[in-house]
A and B are shown apart, each in its own frame.
Chain A
């Protein structure tokens, strides 16, 4: 069975500082990894996925299969980045196409 672990429940940084939200996973197959974000009073939404290899709102994430990690990084945090961030994993193929397993989430607070 697959599992996603986000070791930090809370993360606080100051504006302009680098930020890294950690995510580790366990899955024996070939995973798809995602980061989802939920801003205050908004819906859960996709931030980025590893197969697209693009930067969204300045955030990037690299899949490290050796370390089974998918950490989310941003070099200069902004106050508007304050939100709840979830790492999620999808198993490729099979009948459960698109099924997501979420981590526990990390609340990021960016102080002015």
Chain B
């Protein structure tokens, strides 16, 4: 089966600019996760969706980060405006409810 798809794979922007990431989960997976992985650290959950509803966004910096999952399939994560400390790999994962999480290849963001 096709895996989780993410785009772009790499993005370089200047601070205070905006950026958006896209994720297409595995077909039939109702749960979608966005993680932030800063260099040298493990992934940290930013937001979890169940279908198109938010289950957990307690660690999402809501003053600059936003995410949506319209129609309960694809999802976008946006940062506006970006800061230097947002440089990281952004991972998308999907699962059936309570099932194993399958990860995408990630988007590497560099903020200059």
Interfacial residues, chain B to chain A (CB-CB below 8 A): 3, 31, 33, 40-45, 48, 50, 55-56, 91, 95, 97-106
Given the complex of chains A and B, what is the CA–CA distance between A105 and B42 in angstroms?
6
Query: Across the interface, do A104 and B41 meet the contact criterion of CB distance under 8 Å?
Result: yes
Q: Point out the residues of chain A lying under 8 angstroms from B103, CB to CB.
A: 43-45
Binary B-proximity of A77-101 (CB < 8 A = 1, otherwise 0): 0000000001010000001111111
Q: Point out the residues of chain A lying under 8 angstroms from B48, CB to CB.
A: 96, 98-99
Q: Point out the residues of chain A lying under 8 angstroms from B97, CB to CB.
A: 97-98
Seed contacts A43-B3, A45-B103; 18 additional CB < 8 Å A-B pairs: A9-B40, A43-B104, A43-B105, A44-B103, A45-B102, A46-B101, A95-B56, A97-B50, A98-B98, A98-B99, A98-B101, A99-B33, A99-B45, A100-B45, A100-B101, A101-B45, A103-B42, A104-B41
Given contacts A86-B42, A104-B40, contact A99 B100 (CB under 8 A): no
Given the complex of chains A and B, what is the CA–CA distance between A36 and B58 in angstroms?
23
Q: Point out the residues of chain A lying under 8 angstroms from B45, CB to CB.
A: 99-101
- Confirm or deny: A35 has a beta carbon within 8 angstroms of a beta carbon on chain B: no
Contact-residue bracket for chain A: 10 to 19
- Confirm or deny: A102 has a beta carbon within 8 angstroms of a beta carbon on chain B: yes
Given the complex of chains A and B, what is the CA–CA distance between A103 and B37 in angstroms?
11
Given the complex of chains A and B, what is the CA–CA distance between A85 and B3 in angstroms?
21
Q: Point out the residues of chain A lying under 8 angstroms from B105, CB to CB.
A: 43
Query: Across the interface, do A102 and B42 meet the contact criterion of CB distance under 8 Å?
Result: yes
Given the complex of chains A and B, what is the CA–CA distance between A96 and B105 in angstroms?
23
A-B contact pairs, 7 of them (CB 8 A): A43-B3, A43-B105, A46-B101, A88-B42, A98-B48, A100-B43, A105-B41
Q: Point out the residues of chain A lying under 8 angstroms from B43, CB to CB.
A: 44, 86, 100, 102
